[in-house]
Amino acid sequence: MSFQIPRGTQDILPGTSELWQYIEEKARDICRRYNYHELRTPIFEKTELFQRGVGDSTDIVQKEMYTFEDRGGRSLTLRPEGTASAVRAFVNNKMFGLAEQPVKLYYIGPMFRYERPQSGRMRQFVQFGVEAMGSNDPSIDAEVIALAIDFYKELGLKNLKLYLNSLGDTESREAHRNALIAHFEPRIGEFCSDCQNRLENNPLRILDCKKDRDHELMASAPSILDYLNEESANYFTNVKKALDYMKIDYVIDERLVRGLDYYNHTAFEIMSEAEGFGAITTLSGGGRYNGLVEEVGGPTTPGIGFAMSIERLLLALEAEGVELPIEKTIDCYVVTMGEEAQTISNGLLHELRSAGLSAERDYLDRKMKSQFKAANRSNAKYVAILGEDELQKDEINIKEMETGDQQAVRFSEITSYLTKKLKEETGE
Ligand code: HAM
């Protein structure tokens, strides 16, 4: 009997996992520079957190959650996104009381959504996201957006487009909501059953409907930007101004509503415009969620964040032909001849590795020629040749693979010799 991997999931094998590590390191580095700190939360949470946080009327909650009952009869859900958990952790740990505000957090971890799998859409995917809670300054909106854009650019992506919208505050949204109901109600019978439910529950969601997107009423639907009250309009202007000062280009998209319910004011998505990227072009999305902390039981606290999946980022890198600088080498391959040399090489390998070098040897009792082939395959920079003669003479040949140069070195000096040579190479 053979087992297949579950649909919408993937194994990340050596050769590819190095790309993931590189990207994750870059994510941690940019967060360090922007002063965001890592938060790690559980993979599952109480189902209610997402129902309240993400919103009952969203596709995520209605159709896509991995929900199960544990042995104690509690309803738990594999997290479909990171914001609700970050906000829960913020509230549970009373981070609103910290001296340093806003609290700037980031996370990298797997999320789960029961979606129809296709390129760029997985059932388990890894999000890198940031959340800043505790400030209502439009500059922090721009900072969060800049972090996302900088991250992509530093990795080498060029064909990006930032789409920006404002969903306004509660008052503006209410006015827009009424306008949407008035617009769609007379002809709601022509829409899908989901949209018919959305009319009362959350008419904004109608604009996001994939089935009805070509209906003529969609194009003529009232724009949120015409319903922003003065405060919301000013806020939006200030976000745009901050982005202008950062020289970050954006396109205003009044149709951008996002698929989660917690947003107000700023909403944004970053798309890939690379040719051949495929049908799903959204690389990341985010926005402001000023009501969410309160919704999850904390004091009124503004927040903003974004998330991106590493899967889609890798697709964009591939579409743009960006090669990440992954080093696939080892410092020293120890070639052995004879049983005694094999045994002694264990000590040498241990010493090299303890000194911080990467080192490998043969474990299949292969002939010298095959060992050299293996050293080549692993891109060894140096090969140390350990034969019985060499050991007796205490003169071990070290071959630099790139130049073919050989040097006789005393056994006890191999580690210091290689350490020095490798340092010279990197110019340290
Ligand atoms: P989201 O738009 O649902 O927002 O997801 C953010 C990003 O996660 C997407 O742009 C995409 O890169 C990735 N993503 C989502 N679903 C999948 C999937 N099935 N397969 C692969 N990648 C996927 C959020 O999750 C919000 N929590 C973002 C946020 C943070 N807003 C404020 N703070």
Dump the DSSP string for 152-184.
Answer: HHHHT---EEEEEEE---HHHHHHHHHHHHHHH
Q: How many CB atoms within 10 Å of residue 207?
A: 21
Looking at 265, 288, 319, the residue that finishes a domain is 319
112 occurs within a structural domain: yes
144 occurs within a structural domain: yes
Name the residue range of residue 343's domain.
330-422
Angle separating helix axes 17-34 and 310-319, nearest 10 degrees: 110
Lookup: tokens for 25? 């390191």
Are 342 and 392 in a shared domain?
yes
Are 75 and 155 in a shared domain?
yes
Run of H or E including 271:
strand 264-272
245 alpha carbon – ligand 1 mean position (Å): 27
Are 38 and 164 in a shared domain?
yes
* Distant-in-sequence, close-in-space partners of 20: CB < 8 Å, separation ≥ 6: 12, 126, 310
Q: Given ligand 1 and candidates 49, 127, 265, 277, which is best to mutate, with the most ligand atoms within 8 Å of its CB?
A: 127
Looking at 319, 342, 358, the residue that finishes a domain is 319
Are 151 and 56 in a shared domain?
yes
Phi, psi of 184 (to 5 degrees): -90, -30
Q: CATH code at 158?
A: 3.30.930.10
Q: Given ligand 1 and candidates 60, 309, 310, 317, which is best to mutate, with the most ligand atoms within 8 Å of its CB?
A: 309
**428 residues of the chain, pLDDT tens digit each:** 789 999 999 999 999 999 999 999 999 999 999 999 999 999 999 999 999 999 988 889 999 999 999 999 999 999 999 999 999 999 999 999 999 999 999 999 999 999 999 999 999 999 999 999 999 999 999 999 999 999 999 999 999 999 999 999 999 999 999 999 999 999 999 999 989 988 988 898 898 888 888 899 998 999 999 999 999 999 999 999 999 999 999 999 998 988 888 999 999 999 999 987 877 789 999 999 999 999 999 999 999 999 999 999 999 999 999 999 998 899 999 999 999 999 999 999 999 999 999 999 999 999 999 999 999 999 999 999 999 888 899 999 999 999 999 999 999 999 999 999 999 987 76
List pocket residues of ligand 1, CB cut-off 6 Å.
81-83, 113, 115, 120-122, 125, 127, 129, 131, 259-260, 282-287, 305-309, 311-312
Looking at 273, 292, 319, the residue that finishes a domain is 319
Q: Which atom of ligand 1 is the closest one to the Cα of 115?
A: 19
Name the closest-CA residue to atom 21, ligand 1: 121
Are 304 and 334 in a shared domain?
no
Are 251 and 370 in a shared domain?
no
User: What's this model's pTM, rounded to 2 decimal places?
Assistant: 0.94
Query: Structurally, how many domains does the chain consist of?
Result: 2
388 alpha carbon – ligand 1 mean position (Å): 60
CB 191 within 8 A of CB 206: yes
215 occurs within a structural domain: no
Are 308 and 359 in a shared domain?
no
How much of the chain is in helix, strand and coil states, percent to nearest 5? 45, 20, 35
